[in-house]
Amino acid sequence: DTEEPIDLKLFWVKNTTKANLSWLVALTPNFEDDPENNENANIGIDFVLSESCDRLYILLSYKLKLRVLELHETLSHTQKEILENWVQIRRDLDPTSDTYKEQLRSHLWRSFDFEPVNKFFYSQLIQQFDHLVSHLKSNNIPEEKAKMFAVKLFGRTLFLWFLRKKEFLNPKISYFEVKGEDNQTKYYQDFLEPLFFEVLNSEIRGRKYPDDITPFLNGGLFEPTETDFYKDSNLTFPDGFFTQFYALLNKFNFTVDEGTSDY
């Protein structure tokens, strides 16, 4: 019931590849892709449902470049911020301005700029990293070994967050469910250590750990070394460490697309 210069389109497609999404955007003339030749056209916002209807993609384009927001299961912290930003558009812009359409286009496009999100994410990650290294050093682990352990733990966990997105990990085992703020070390020993070194590092046929779904990754990333302190009782974690670490990761959407940053 508004007169916003926007066309909203909804598609339901079998294959949500980048090529198909780019093709959908180009189906109709959009102001943002060629403002000089399409000055009378509206801004296009495309919504695309996956074939199974379990994902919704929101597409913005600018000069035929794409920025895509993928919604799945629950909204991440960042996605909520973006949608809240959209609610504020009419308060931030003047609809009577001669340049309103261009301002609106620019506002929408910037709302999907994830570089500030990435910087914020890694700044938060560094705080978690420093907290863990400080704790390990207080337990008489040399600084270099403490940093190496933390680097590998964070790298492995981030990698697993992408595997979770691809639904490769056994959903029947609560690998990332932490119970109790003071049980962080026991959680690591009962779930993460077996996942790292007895599941992902072992062929399914010869596994002792009861997981015959999660794949074997034969790349060395999960091969235990001296700085992993594998089954070392001296390795402990700060109270609430994994609870806070996972809460941070769950605020963000981990995309598995291998395209450009604009996608």
Confidence of residue 257 (pLDDT cuts 50, 70, 90): low
> Would you say the pTM of this structure is higher than 0.75?
no
Structure tokens at 108: 């929408």
Q: Residue 243 is which amino acid?
A: T
Secondary structure of residue 257 in the 3-state scheme:
coil
* Rounded average pLDDT over 95-123: 88
Strands 55-62 and 6-12, how do they pair? unpaired
CA atoms within 13 A of residue 197's CA, in its CB half-sphere: 16
Of residues 148, 156, 150, the one with CA closest to residue 223: 156
- What digits encode the pLDDT tens for the residues 4-18? 899 999 999 999 888
d(CA 50, CA 20): 12
Residue 169 burial (CB count, 10 A): 21
The residue with tokens 């469910």 is 177
Residue 251 burial (CB count, 10 A): 17
Tell me how far CA of residue 246 lies from CA of 2, 199, 215, 221, in angstroms.
Answer: 41, 21, 22, 20
Tell me how far CA of residue 16 lies from CA of 28, 56, 257, 261, in angstroms.
Answer: 18, 10, 11, 18
Mean pLDDT across the chain, nearest whole number? 89
- What digits encode the pLDDT tens for the residues 148-181? 999 999 999 999 998 887 889 999 999 999 987 6
Contact (CB, 8 A) for 62 and 110:
no
* Rounded average pLDDT over 135-150: 96
Confidence of residue 251 (pLDDT cuts 50, 70, 90): confident
Structure tokens at 201: 């590092």
